[in-house]
Amino acid sequence: MREIHHSQPDATSFRPEQARGEWAIALLLFVLSALYLWPFHDVTILFVDEGIVLQGAERILRGQVPYRDFFSFYTPGTYYWLAARLRLFGDTFLVARAMLLLYGGLFSARIYFLARRVCERGTAILTTYLFLVIGLPNKFIVAHNWDSSVLACLALYCGVRLVEGGKWGWALATGTLAALTCLFEQSKGAGLVLGLGLGLFVVGSCSREGREVFRRRNLAALAAGFVWPWALTVSYFGMQHCLTQMVADWFWPVFHYAGANRLPYGYVNIPHANWEDLFGSASWGGRLAFVFLTAPCFILPALPFVAAALLIHAGRRLWKTKSGGSAAHYVVLVSAVALGLTLSVVVTGRTDYDHFVYISPPLLLILGLVLGGQLVRSNLLDRVRPLLATFFLIVFTALGMLFYLREPLGAHDRLETRRGPVRTPARDEVIPYLQAHTTTSQMILIYPYQPIYYYLTATHSPTQFDYLQIGMHSPEQFARAVADVAADPPTMVIWNLSFNTQTIIDGWPATPLGAMAKDPLRDYIVAHYCPCTTLGSIGFRHLAMVRRDLPCEAGAAGRSP
């Protein structure tokens, strides 16, 4: 790397908001992104985390309060944001998913405006496109991850505007969005705050222009923006008499989450059997094709190291020259936020590819910096940059098309649920069976996972937990769940037979083997329920069971064992 180079004579970045043509392009990208994502809006593979927040929002609509009435280690933002949408527009799966289409447009518009500051138009559009094809399509689900990611992206944009103009309104917006990110996902919010703090400190202390950021008015606005969402949250849960429990649940992951969820850096969650099939018997051509298709899975985890190099390099230049202009400030701030968000992933132990996708907007802006050539220059990069751009375009497109083939184009089975129609890539027998054998708002137990079945069938758990995972939830929580079930036994249990024996090994390989041997809820189910029928789903077999004092009626959707 030779230097941080500025394409403008006054060493300032381009301000795309000042040009009508750039607004037109951003609006077009917004619309095209929403249209591109539309085929995903009603597709579900059922085994996803979105059932957690969907059912949590349902509990709120029924008058329950998080932490007091049901357990969650998430901060409350997503629950209440989703509950408000369902209350206003209708309690359906499609209403819940519609916000993701808007998120896709927001991501594209913000990424374009940020990249365009230091990149030519073509590179800025390419950067936007790379996220569009591998971002939301990778996990098109209603989850706190995307809510917090879009807030973090908006906070980064406001932070860039703050260092460009030093106006207190951008400081207020930056602080507010940083606080909201924490209230939607505490780990990502903490990483964002750390990254913004580091970036603003370097800009303000290493350059004369950056000192405007630390004017008293701006610092007061930053603090006010950060404090008011917290004050509102604390006041609300204090009035609900669960403030202590809320704080305890927020810190619960520190002691429980990482033990089962810790993964190797850049882990790609592919079942062991698939790896063995690929590298044990596949041809070399098949292996090379697989590596080509999955190249973004290795590129994204490498970008934080590029961000660290850029931050050090740009910070040193600012320190030496005491002046760098807003283009250099942009490099520092984007690199610092990318590193802060990466640290949030590392600390939680979820360093798998999916979680790098959730923090990929600033990481892909780093890639745009390298591909653009206006700020990061070297003789080698100048020669290979067109080849790199072509390579990234091809491999990201290939992976994006794989998502399209797997879900929108591969979802041929249509299910009518109590929350509206959905499409699945394979036949599911559980939902038709439940809808034929339960009533709306009936209590059943789905164990150990797939709380989305509760939501789509409008049923509810008899416990404070919508799922229980061996090795992550504590023995005390399992005992509490058993007590809840024993106090008011549901008539039916849907038991995923392979989750604790197969899925945990593939998806949560750090789960202690000793924990898997002790399952008090499994023991209770076996003692008090008898099997009726097995039900197929997407990659799973489920056992439908009823209380031993009730007759067993095997539904037409199932198959008697």
At residue 153's C-alpha, the angle toward residues 147 and 154, to 5°, is 90
| Complete edge-to-edge strand list for the sheet that includes strand 445-447 | 445-447, 492-496, 541-547, 529-536
The CA distance from 118 to 14, in Å, is 7
Query: Among all chains, which residue has been given the structure tokens 């006041």?
Result: 235
Q: What is the pLDDT along the chain (561 residues), one digit of tens a residue?
A: 344 444 433 345 678 888 999 999 999 999 999 999 999 999 999 988 899 999 999 999 999 999 999 999 999 999 999 999 999 999 999 999 999 999 999 999 999 999 999 899 999 999 999 999 999 999 999 999 999 999 999 999 999 999 988 789 999 999 999 999 999 999 999 999 999 999 999 988 887 777 778 888 999 999 999 999 999 999 999 999 999 999 999 999 888 877 777 888 888 876 655 565 556 666 777 777 777 888 999 999 999 999 999 999 888 888 877 666 678 889 999 999 999 999 999 998 888 999 999 999 999 999 998 888 665 566 777 788 889 999 999 999 999 998 998 889 889 899 999 999 999 999 999 999 999 999 999 999 999 989 999 999 999 999 999 999 888 888 899 999 999 999 999 999 999 988 877 777 777 777 777 777 788 999 999 999 999 999 998 878 899 999 998 888 644 344 433
What stretches of 161-293 adopt beta strand conformation (E)?
none
| DSSP class per residue in 490-539 | -SEEEEETTIIIIIHHHH-TTS-HHHHH--HHHHHHHHHEEEEEEEE-SS
DSSP-derived letter for residue 135 is S
The CA distance from 218 to 162, in Å, is 9
Burial class (CB in 10 A: 0-12, 13-18, 19+), 554: middle
Q: Where are the domains of the chain?
A: 143-406, 415-547
- Three-class HEC string of 446-462: EECCCCHHHHHHCCECC
Q: Under 8 Å CB-to-CB from 391, ≥6 apart: which residues?
A: none
Which phi and psi angles does 446 have, rounded to 5°?
-110, 120
What are the CB-based long-range contacts (under 8 Å, 24+) for 330-333? 330/13, 330/114, 330/117, 330/118, 330/160, 330/163, 331/4, 331/118, 331/369, 331/375, 332/199, 332/202, 332/203, 333/156, 333/159, 333/160, 333/163, 333/196, 333/199, 333/200, 333/203
